Structures are given as C-alpha cells and as structure tokens.
Structure 1
Amino acid sequence: MTKPVIVVPKGMEFIRDEIGYAPAVLANGTLYIAGQIGRDDSRQLVTDKEAQFVQVFENMKRVLAKAGGDFDNLVEMTSYHTDMRDLPLFMQVRDRYMKGVLVAWTAIGAAQLCGAPGYFLEVKAVARID
C-alpha cells in the first residue's frame, strides 16, 4: 500500500493552504475528488448558472489532469443541487465533458452550498488512475 498523494492543481493551492483540505487525494490508484464548485481562478463565484456549471467541470478537469487522468477515468459522481429543476441543464453541461462516459451518479438536492447564496452546484467524484 502506497502513501496517499495530495493532488493540488495550480491555482488551487489556497484550498490546501488556507481552507485546509485537499482538492483530491490519490490512494492506491483511486482518485477521490473533493466537491468542486463554480469559482474561477480569481476565486470569484461565477454567477451565471450555466457558466457556473461549466466552471465546476473545468475545475474537475484540472484536478483529473493533475492526477494523470481525464473524465474517462471517472467511476462515480455525486452532484449537489440547490434546485433539482436544474438537472436537464446540468446533464447538458455534463455531457459536453463526459462524452459517452457513464458513471455511478447520485444527484442530491441541497438547501444551500458553501454557506452562501449563489452557489447552484457542487460535484464530488471518484476516478481510477492507472
């Protein structure tokens, strides 16, 4: 058993250093991606709903790439939504990034995300990295 590796893409160091958790942890070929939200590189919340969903997937893409993978490596995903009526839009954005990739997916309704208004989506995932 190898020691887990903390995965921190460039620009996400503040998550580890200031907030105190890892964007992802790679342990024995399994990548555990912490909940990704719609903040851009300047740490600003993307306010347009579709653009925020895109930002979430862009952030996941960066984490996967830093670990040596991509969306094809995903095996499980959990999405948290402040409005479950957003699922069709979420699935449209998801399908742009996960073309033909099927994962075990759970969608959960949440009253609020990140303790602040304006967050519509958070996604955590698990991937296999060979």
Structure 2
Amino acid sequence: MTQRDVVFPAGRQALYERNRYSPAIRSNGFLFVSGQVGSKADGSPEADLETQVRTAFNNLNAILAAAGSSFDDVVDVTVFIVDPQSTFERIWSVVVSEFWGSAPHPTVTAVGVTWLYGFDFEIKVIAKLPDAT
C-alpha cells in the first residue's frame, strides 16, 4: 500500500491520533478532508449552534491552510445536520455570510442525520490542490 500523505493542522495532531483518523489526505492533486465539527481544542463541542458552525469552518480552514490551500479551492462539500428542518436556516446564514465566498460555488450535498457524537453540524470537503495541474 502507498504511504498516505496526511495533513495535520497546527496544534490538533494529538486529537486526531487519539481518535485514530487523519484530518486530510493528499492524493492525485486533491485534498480529501475528514468531516470537521465545531470542536474545541480538547474535542468537546461548542455550546451553541452558530458557534459550532463557525468553529467547524475554522477547523476546516486550518486544515486547508496546512495543505497550502483555501476554501476557494474546494470543489465538493458534504454537510451533515442534526434536525435540518429546524436548524438549516440558522446554519446556512452563518455559512453563506461568513465563509462561502462568491460564485462559482462548490457542489454541495446536505444530509440530515440523527446523531453526530454530540454535535449538530459537520462538514467534509474535497479540494483541488493549487499546485496540481
């Protein structure tokens, strides 16, 4: 098997090692980022929904930056939302106004789920690495 090219954001490697997964893997010009939640440095959830969404994006952006990338390079997004019927508008108002950027936007799939290990929102992405042709 080929050695995985793992990307770790600054200061959170122990959290990923404890939970036994890679935050992101570089492969064939793409960056595949694991689902990011609104977790504090110790892995516990932020208290309110909007803070969870902001923290999830900040965690995501730290991984993208560690790979020499940014959200502008993201081509595909999957979000997981607990109780999307009552939370989607609150989540999307934060996403669009603070993080989404201008068009053209990445593709997006939103999935309603019943459980996210104590979190209400998770985002995973695939990004085209800037130096890949």
Shift of 1:4: 3.9
Aligned positions, number: 126
- Identity score, percent: 29
Cα distance in 2 for residues equivalent to 1:110 and 1:123: 13
Which residue number corresponds to residue 27 of structure 1? 27
**Match of 1:65, SS?**
helix
Name the TM-score, length of structure 1 as normaliser.
Answer: 0.89
Which residue number corresponds to residue 99 of structure 1? 101
Q: For 2:95, give the aligned amino acid.
A: R
**Match of 1:68, SS?**
coil
Name the TM-score, length of structure 2 as normaliser.
Answer: 0.87
Cα distance in 2 for residues equivalent to 1:35 and 1:121: 10
Which residue number corresponds to residue 36 of structure 1? 36
What root-mean-square deviation, in Å, do the aligned CA atoms of Structure 1 and Structure 2 show?
1.6
What residue ranges of structure 1 are gaps of 5+ in the alignment?
none
**Match of 2:45, SS?**
coil
Change (3 A) 1:46 1:16: closer
Shift of 1:78: 0.5
Which residue number corresponds to residue 122 of structure 2? 122
Q: Contact 1:3–1:27 at 8 Å: present in 2 too?
A: no
Q: For 1:98, give the aligned amino acid.
A: W
